[in-house]
Each structure stands twice: as structure tokens, then as C-alpha cells.
Structure 1
Amino acid sequence: MSDPAFENRIAVVTGASRGIGYFVARALGAAGAHVVALARTVGGLEELDDEIRAAGGPAPTLVPLDLTDYDGIDRLGAALYERFGRLDVLIGNAGILGTLSPLGHVDIKTWDQVMAINVTANWRLIRSLDPLLRRSDAGRAVFLSSGAAQKCKAYWGPYSVSKAAVEALVRTYAAETLQTPIKANLVNPGPMRTAMRAKAMPGEDPETLPHPSEIASAILDLSAPACTVTGKLYDHPSREIREFLPICS
């Protein structure tokens, strides 16, 4: 259903071909936003296109892109500037698990790949798209974190470290944009019925977990012009906006 808050807004969503990114992109499109959907899987993007159109939303822009193609992220920024002159919403959702293994057994290629997609790609998105968000009357950036950033459980090293880095990245960005219309926040979705969760916990019954569509409305709230918080984390399991405590006093 169209929402005046999102009509004619320009929204970039990464990892939009499946899982949380797919349902957030679908919800944004149905609300009236022009979605620029990024993912490596073309089939998933085409399905998203069909669903947004069926819901009466504007035809999205589909961008098949591997986020480790950093030059491609820069080209995206230039193309968005040429076409729209601004960006209203950035959803940094894409991420990978890597392997569950003792830190000393993680191979270098896996470590580098997790950091490249989960951390460096999000920094490159900020680097390339921040000038466009600043041209919006209400730029909004929402990035997906995880409880793993704080729990630091054994064998989850690469993923936990990457999500802790994402939290530091977004909090820094929020601090640097305090005097602008930009609001930058994080979301911890908690365990959800996604392919990543199934890979991490193969013995778990997925039907016992929330569907990824259930978090879309919370992410849309943080993406709306009416959002007034910045540098915070929305903890979906508790349904609370959490403050970050200082590391030391």
C-alpha cells in the first residue's frame, strides 16, 4: 500500500534478492519508493521487480552487482547522481557468514572475504553515496548488524568481528552527520528464517523462527523522514531502540 512518506523517495537496498533485503525492498517499493535493488542473483532481483509492480509500486531499478566490485559502487553513485541528483534511503543489508571455526583455523581467503563484504563494502557505499544522501531533505541510512557483534561466541570470529566493525562504522558516520539532515542507525534482526541462519544452524527448525518479512516495518520506520534518532541500534528481539554505552568512562 502506498505511503505518502515514501512516495518519490529514492532507496538503495543491498542484498535485495532474498531474505531481509528482499522483503525490505518489496515493502519500500509497495510504499511508493523508487527502489534501486542491488544483489548478485539476477533471478531474485527479477522476482522482486514482479512483486513490487504487482503491489502497485514504481518499477525498481535492478543492479546486478557484487559488492566487492568497489569501482562498481562508485559507478553506482555517479549513475544515481546523473539520474536522480540525490539519494533518500540507503539500506546496507548484504552480508555473509563465512565459516564457523576457531580463529586459528580460519583461512585467510575466508577472513578477507567476510571483511570485504560485511565491512569494506559498507564503507565504500557510505563513501560513494554520502554526497547524495546530503542532497536529500531527509537522508536515512540503516545498516544490519547482529547480536554476534556483542556476544562474541566461540567459533563465530569473522562474522562477530565484522558486525562489531559495522556498528563502529555506522556510529562514526552518525557522529559525522549530526549537523545534517542524515540519520544513520543499525538494526539487529535477531535469529530469522534466512539462508544464512540455516547455514549457521543446520539442525534448527526454521519454522520456529520469525519470517524475515516481519522486520521490514521497523526498518521502514528508521528509513522514514519522520525518524529522529541517529547513531542507535534497533534490537528487534526486544523491540527497543538501544543506546550504545561508552567503552570506558
Structure 2
Amino acid sequence: MSNSTSSPVNQNNNSSLSHEQIRNFVAADNCLAGKVILVTGAGAGIGRVAALTYARFGATVLLLGRTLSKLEAVYDEIETMGAQQPAILPMDLEKASYDEMQKLERLIDSEFGQLDGILNNAAILGNLTPLEMYDVDTFAKVMHINCTATFMLTQALLPLLKDAKNGSIVFTSSSVGTHPRAFWGAYALSKQAIEGMSDIFTQETKNTTNLRFNCINPGGTRTNMRAHAFPGESPMSLKTPEDIMGGYIALMSDESIGVRGQVVALQPKD
């Protein structure tokens, strides 16, 4: 792959934002006003905070996840802040069919008339064990949720995104996706595939001026997934999801229109 996690974005993309500027992005009030953004895994962790952040900066946020009670809690938080009314879209990516995802596309079109961005955030960790010993059913589950279902949903929603003035698709990668690491198994492989998916979509849409694909590598962040992966680590040594939201806003805002096919590491030393 030609992506870099630390170098400035290719100037051939006519981008005004380097990776450093994306990491340190300071958002203007209402910079996402008028946008409809779907967030997967919106009930907890980075997805929850991203959904709240997008709403705070003016977007109408579509909350997709498998646990209704968690989505309802995020919905209530957005309502309390007086932001644009969000919508709850319950969906279990492990079980959802492509037909259900296409129906979701039609629902969004009929209810909102547009879709300007997707943050593909939902993922599971799986096992941290040698590939030689990796449970094959768990492997298949991780690859499906983290990669295949992400592809299915993105493809199903592309017709709406292609109609957007400036459509942005953001995938979530990981340091172990950019540089696969022993014992990270299916999680690392799924994230490596996500980076490849973003790269291929970028190449295939190079003449589609209003559509862009990028990856975010959030780095070590204070989430439940991180705690499961590193049980001996002090969570207080990590940044919170709120600390890294500048990059998430940047890639959804029109300031990043020229940023394409990038893997942006929000904590490049992680």
C-alpha cells in the first residue's frame, strides 16, 4: 500500500491538511451543520463519543449499533444538548444481511434525503493468541464484523454517499493493522484488510470528485476494548476518546475534501 501514517498527505490531492493538521484540528462551531453522518458502534467507546461530537458540531447523527439501550442513552445525551435530532438504527453487523443493509439505505433516503458521511467504527477484538491456536469460528466472526460487514454496509450506502455534495467514508484501523503484530490474529488481519479496502475504494473513485475514503488509527485510547487487550495497563496513562476527536471531525468536515486514501495515525508514537 502507498499509504503513510506519518507523512503529510499527497499534495497531488490538493489537500490543505497534513496528518499533523488533522491530528490537531480545531473545529469551527457548526462545521458539520447540514450533514447527515452515520456512526457504527455508536453505543460505546469511540463510536459513542464521535456521535456526540458530530452532533455537537451541527450534524444529524444516525446511531447504528446492536444494543438498543446503549443507543437510546446516546440519543438522550444528544437530545439533552439541544443538537439536531438523531436517529437510532439498531443493527447487529454479525447477523445483518446485505438485503437489510440495502433496506437501510432506502430508509435513510426516505427519512433524511441524504447521507454525507459514515464512520465505520464497530469492531470486536477476538482472541489474542498465536494463529496456530486461533479458534476458527472466532476468527471468522472477527473478520466478518470488522471487515466483511463493514464492506457490505459501505457498498450498500454508496448510492446515497455518491449523491452527497462531499461524501466522506472513514474506516477505523489500528496500529496492528498498519504494522501486523504477533498474537493479534484476526483483529490485526481485519484491520490490515480495512486499510486495503480504503485504498482500493480510493483508487476506484479517483475520478469521483465528491467522494473520499480514509482510515483513522486512533492509537491507544481509554476504552473497554483497550482494557481487554492490555489488562495490566493503567487506563489513566491513555488519552480518552474525547482527546482525539479533532481528527474525527477533520475527516468529516469540508476542510478535508482533498484528503483521500490516507491512514491517519492520531497518536503516531503509539
TM over 0.5: yes
Instruction: Return the alpha-carbon distance in structure 2 between the equivalents of residues 86 and 173 of structure 1.
Output: 21
CA RMSD of aligned residues (A): 1.6
Report the alpha carbon displacement of residue 67 of structure 1 after superposing the two structures with TM.
1.0
The equivalences for 1:90-129 within 5 A come to 90-129=118-157
- Residue in structure 2 matched with residue 3 of structure 1 by the alignment: 29
- Residue in structure 2 matched with residue 44 of structure 1 by the alignment: 70
Report the alpha carbon displacement of residue 34 of structure 1 after superposing the two structures with TM.
0.8
Report the alpha carbon displacement of residue 2 of structure 1 after superposing the two structures with TM.
8.4
Matching of residue 174 in structure 1 with residue 202 in structure 2: yes
Instruction: Return the alpha-carbon distance in structure 2 between the equivalents of residues 2 and 59 of structure 1.
Output: 20
- Residue in structure 1 matched with residue 167 of structure 2 by the alignment: 139
Contact 2:221 2:238 in 1 (8 A): yes
CA gap of 1:2–1:149, structure 2 versus 1, over 3 A, is closer
- Look up the SS of the partner of 1:8 in the other structure: coil
Contact 1:139 1:225 in 2 (8 A): no
Report the alpha carbon displacement of residue 150 of structure 1 after superposing the two structures with TM.
2.9
Contact 2:178 2:195 in 1 (8 A): no
Deviations 1:174-210 (A, max 9, x none): 1122222011110001111111111111111111111
Which structure 2 residue ranges, 5 or more long, are not aligned?
1-26
Matching of residue 54 in structure 1 with residue 83 in structure 2: no
**Which of 227, 232, 247 lines up with 2:262 in the alignment?**
232
Contact 2:101 2:152 in 1 (8 A): yes
Identity %: 37
TM-score (normalised: structure 2) = 0.85
Instruction: Return the alpha-carbon distance in structure 2 between the equivalents of residues 47 and 106 of structure 1.
Output: 35
Instruction: Return the alpha-carbon distance in structure 1 between the equivalents of residues 49 and 255 of structure 2.
Output: 21
Report the alpha carbon displacement of residue 121 of structure 1 after superposing the two structures with TM.
1.1
TM-score (normalised: structure 1) = 0.92
Report the alpha carbon displacement of residue 129 of structure 1 after superposing the two structures with TM.
0.8
> Aligned AA for 2:244?
I
**Which of 154, 158, 170 lines up with 2:182 in the alignment?**
154
Report the alpha carbon displacement of residue 167 of structure 1 after superposing the two structures with TM.
0.3
Aligned pair count? Answer: 239
> Aligned AA for 2:129?
S
- Look up the SS of the partner of 2:43 in the other structure: coil
- Look up the SS of the partner of 2:222 in the other structure: coil
**Which of 53, 56, 67 lines up with 1:30 in the alignment?**
56
**Which of 251, 256, 267 lines up with 1:222 in the alignment?**
251
**Which of 187, 194, 204 lines up with 2:216 in the alignment?**
187
- Residue in structure 2 matched with residue 247 of structure 1 by the alignment: none
Report the alpha carbon displacement of residue 151 of structure 1 after superposing the two structures with TM.
2.8
> Aligned AA for 1:190?
G
Report which stretch shifted further, 66-75 or 120-129. 66-75
Contact 2:63 2:89 in 1 (8 A): yes
Instruction: Return the alpha-carbon distance in structure 2 between the equivalents of residues 197 and 4 of structure 1.
Output: 31
Contact 1:2 1:32 in 2 (8 A): no
Report the alpha carbon displacement of residue 160 of structure 1 after superposing the two structures with TM.
0.7
User: Runs (4+) of structure 1 moved beyond 4 Å?
Assistant: none
- Residue in structure 1 matched with residue 117 of structure 2 by the alignment: 89
Which structure 1 residue ranges, 5 or more long, are not aligned?
240-249
Contact 1:98 1:159 in 2 (8 A): yes
Relative CO higher for 1 or 2, CA cutoff 8 Å, sep ≥ 6? Answer: 2
